[in-house]
Amino acid sequence: MPIVIRKFNHTETIGDALRSLRFSIPRTLSEMAAATRIQKTILDAFERNAFDRLPAPSYARRFLRTYVRALGGDEAYFLQRFDEENGCCDLTHVARLPPRRTGRLWRWTGLTAAKAIGVALASVSIIGYLGWEVRNITAPPRLGVDFPVDGYVTHDAMIRLRGQADPKATVKVNGTEVLTRQDGTFEADVALQRGLNVVTVEGAKRYSLPAETYRRIILEETTQNALGSLPSLTAN
């Protein structure tokens, strides 16, 4: 592209000078954006002196150099004007961090994310542990009957029921509390009536749901008692 030689008006701004240079070619902003591969919004910001819409000055100078070269202007002149009007220090814009500071910001953000994940995992662990503790407290205690088995048939009107439960549980047999040993085993004498007897064994801890089990026991008449009710037979 031929270099355009024109007399600069030092009373105009750098944006006015760039726009005048583009009109002299002539080219549109869209055409210059395609030719320089610079976003149209950045080129428009240069021509409108909207320095707050530009990237960091170090990057803005590179874009300006490319743009002026494509327009055929004096690169050194426009860079000098840009430094005079915008400032040559990257820290001029308080709201914009230089590239190195930006990198530190990303590292800080990553560290913060890692901390947030760690806090979330710890919270989930604590909630899970508390849930397990609540379930352990409210769960029914361990309870079992070793003797008799369900459906047990006997001729004795009194049997001794044996079982085992959680050592911290309170055990009741047919509604009557029985003593438990340190290992949780217990015994209780149960009086039976003739026929089918249903024995209820309950166990519960403080704040827990109750545990229940049943034993069906059948008390039968003895053969001797059954024969005693028959008339005696005498030999002829």
Question: pLDDT tens digit string along 94-105?
Answer: 444 454 554 454
Q: How far apart are CA 95 and CA 117, in angstroms?
A: 29
Tell whether the torsion through CA atoms of 227, 230, 231 and 236 is positive or negative: negative
Phi/psi of residue 204, each to 5°?
A: -155, 145
Q: Is residue 234 part of a domain?
A: no
Q: How far apart are CA 182 and CA 62, in angstroms?
A: 85
Question: pLDDT tens digit string along 49-72?
Answer: 999 999 999 999 999 999 999 999
Predicted local distance difference test score (pLDDT) of residue 85:
85
Predicted local distance difference test score (pLDDT) of residue 114:
82
* Residue 5 in this model has a pLDDT that exceeds 50: no
Question: pLDDT tens digit string along 121-145?
Answer: 898 889 988 888 888 788 999 999 9
At 113, list the tokens. 């994310």
Q: Is residue 169 part of a domain?
A: yes
Q: In sequence order, which residues have a C-beta less than 8 Å from that of residue 141 and are 6 or more positions away?
A: 165, 166, 168, 169, 203, 204, 205, 208, 211
Q: Taking all residues of the chain, what is their mean pLDDT, rounded to a whole number?
A: 83
Q: Is residue 1 part of a domain?
A: no
Give the whole-number percent of the chain exceeding pLDDT 90: 63
Residues 157 and 194 in one domain: yes
Residues 57 and 88 in one domain: yes
Q: DSSP string of 31-65?
A: HHHHHHT--HHHHHHHHTT-GGGS--HHHHHHHHH
As a whole number, mean pLDDT of residues 81-110 equals 60
Predicted local distance difference test score (pLDDT) of residue 94:
44
65 touches 4 (CB < 8 A):
no
* Residue 169 in this model has a pLDDT that exceeds 60: yes
176 touches 199 (CB < 8 A):
no
57-71 vs 40-47: helix crossing angle, rounded to 10: 90
* Residue 226 in this model has a pLDDT that exceeds 80: no
Identify the CATH number of the domain in which residue 51 sits. Answer: 1.10.260.40
Residue 154, burial from CB neighbour count under 10 angstroms (0-12, 13-18, 19+): middle
Question: The domain containing residue 30 runs over which residues?
Answer: 14-92
Predicted local distance difference test score (pLDDT) of residue 4:
45
Q: How many CB atoms lie within 10 A of CB 85?
A: 12
Residue 145 pairs with which residues in a beta bridge?
163
Q: How many domains does the chain have?
A: 3
Q: Is residue 133 part of a domain?
A: yes
Residues 133 and 174 in one domain: no
Categorize the per-residue pLDDT at 231 as very low, low, confident or very high, splitting at 50, 70 and 90. Answer: low
Highest averaged pLDDT of the listed ranges 98-102, 171-175, 224-228: 171-175
Q: Is residue 231 part of a domain?
A: no
At 16, list the tokens. 């006015």
Residues 131 and 174 in one domain: no
Highest averaged pLDDT of the listed ranges 38-47, 79-88, 102-111: 38-47
Residues 126 and 55 in one domain: no
Predicted local distance difference test score (pLDDT) of residue 195:
92
Identify the CATH number of the domain in which residue 173 sits. Answer: 2.60.40.10
Element (H, E) at 108: helix 99-138
